[in-house]
Structure 1
Amino acid sequence: MSLKVSVIKDGAAVEPVDVSAAVFGQHFNEPLVHQLVVAYMAAGRSGTKAQKTRSEVSGGGAKPWKQKGSGRARAGTTRSPLWRHGGVTFAASNRSYKQKLNKKMYRAAMRSIFSELLRQDRLIVTDDIYTSAPKTRELSNKLKALGASSALIITDAYNVDTFLSARNLGNVEICTADSISPVSLVHFEKVIVTTQAVKNIEVKLA
């Protein structure tokens, strides 16, 4: 089963293309999409905080004073958490925030996102997005013609001029069909996809 999606050329809709209903015609599974987005954002956390426990702090190997007879409290090390320069009782440690998400769940969530984008008229299929030179103004004018002030551009292959043109636009992100971030898909107002990229997405998410 296939769906008809209009292709935009020179600011007007031309002959539509057929897209797979298995990829672009699914119901919106909000819990699964939420799980995918959270997993991607968690994987981006660095987790670099670190403190030292009493066993990791330098020094403290010798008993400060004898066990009995000094009148002071018993002490076995100068690196006790109770002491100045001692270790931390429950020290924060470096960790990975990565979450497990299998391929079947990933594909289902991505199909759900693309289907919802199509239902909300946020998905634009066009081949008019490529620039002839690395010019920010040229790409900006193309986006204005498409009515996309905030957009994720998905191309089928790496185009140097277009990628360089998008660098200086803060509300625009560009990627290939092989490296789509679900966080970007739900973040941007519009998602612009080339016709060949649509085919690549269908193959990847089938």
Structure 2
Amino acid sequence: MKIAVLDINGKDTGRKANLSDDVFAIEPNEHAVYLDVKQYLAHQRQGTHKAKERAEIAGSTRKIKKQKGTGTARAGSIKSPVFRGGGRIFGPRPRDYAQKLNKNLKRLARKSALTLKSKENAILVVEDFDFDTPKTKDFVQVLKAFGLENKKSLIVLGDSNKGVYLSSRNFKGSEVITNSELSTYKILNANSVVLLEGSLEGIESNLNK
């Protein structure tokens, strides 16, 4: 699949980039996409939630009233969950939310996500660029050239680029990553995916192993 290569000003350079059909034009597997996104979101959970249960509450173990003759329900401990300040019944405990998926399924999910973006014409290929001095203003100007200043966008670099990364850090509407950090969730979460020329080879290599 051929796609025009744009320059930093959003103009057509006259060159074409070849996007592999094995990555950008497959039959999307929606279940694989679902599983990969589910795993990504699960991994964002810290799992540090904790509530004290009955045995962990500090308090007297004295029986608070006699068993019979009070006209109310029997009660043995002030730490009972039925009283204010008592323990919580089946409260949350720290746990790991990590899920396992095999590598082939994750590659299929990412290729499916890229294919869906390709069908929506939401993929742009831009020649590699850099900033001499990191400035958010310069980065926003680039996004304006592509009409993305008011949309969520994902910029994919070939290699780590400190100038571009630092320039984008204060702009919440866009995220800059390298091709090795590409994930199904990030692809689908963006309105447009901007691939720098230098990232194409790495993306195709990573997803066609």
What TM-score, normalized by structure 2, do the two folds share? 0.83
1:5 aligned residue: 3
1:200 aligned residue: 202
1:87 aligned residue: 87
Deviation sequence 1:106-133 (CA, Å, 0-9, x none): 1000011112222221111112543232
3-state secondary structure, aligned to 2:170: coil
1:174 aligned residue: 176
**Cα offset for 1:205?**
0.7
**Cα offset for 1:163?**
0.8
Q: Any conservation in 2 of the 1:129–1:139 contact (CA below 8 Å)? A: no
Q: How does 1:111-130 map to 2 (within 5 A)?
A: 111-130=111-130
**Cα offset for 1:19?**
2.6
Unaligned runs of 5+ in 2: none
Q: Distance in 2 between matches of 1:138 and 1:128?
A: 15
Q: How does 1:1-206 map to 2 (within 5 A)?
A: 3-9=1-7, 10=9, 11-60=11-60, 62-64=61-63, 77-149=77-149, 150=151, 151-206=153-208
3-state secondary structure, aligned to 1:99: coil
Taking every aligned residue pair, what percent have the same amino acid on both sides? 31
Moved more, 137-146 or 84-93: 84-93
Moved more, 5-14 or 188-197: 5-14
Q: Distance in 1 between matches of 2:82 and 2:137?
A: 62
Q: Any conservation in 2 of the 1:156–1:177 contact (CA below 8 Å)? A: yes
Q: Distance in 2 between matches of 1:126 and 1:152?
A: 12
Q: Distance in 2 between matches of 1:84 and 1:24?
A: 58
Deviation sequence 1:167-188 (CA, Å, 0-9, x none): 1212111011111232221122
Q: Distance in 2 between matches of 1:124 and 1:6?
A: 8
Q: Distance in 2 between matches of 1:82 and 1:168?
A: 49
Q: Distance in 2 between matches of 1:59 and 1:12?
A: 73
Cα RMSD (Å): 2.4
**Cα offset for 1:198?**
0.9
Q: Any conservation in 2 of the 1:156–1:200 contact (CA below 8 Å)? A: yes
Q: Any conservation in 2 of the 1:129–1:142 contact (CA below 8 Å)? A: no
Q: Any conservation in 1 of the 2:128–2:198 contact (CA below 8 Å)? A: no
Q: Distance in 2 between matches of 1:168 and 1:19?
A: 31
Instruction: Kindly provide the amino acid, as one letter, of the partner of residue 95 in structure 1.
Output: R
Q: Any conservation in 2 of the 1:133–1:162 contact (CA below 8 Å)? A: no
Distance change >3 Å, CA 75–CA 140, structure 1 → 2: closer
3-state secondary structure, aligned to 1:118: helix
Distance change >3 Å, CA 77–CA 108, structure 1 → 2: same
Unaligned runs of 5+ in 1: none
Q: Any conservation in 1 of the 2:110–2:183 contact (CA below 8 Å)? A: no
Q: Distance in 2 between matches of 1:22 and 1:200?
A: 14
Q: Any conservation in 1 of the 2:64–2:78 contact (CA below 8 Å)? A: no
What TM-score, normalized by structure 1, do the two folds share? 0.85
Instruction: Kindly provide the amino acid, as one letter, of the partner of residue 205 in structure 1.
Output: L
**Cα offset for 1:42?**
1.9
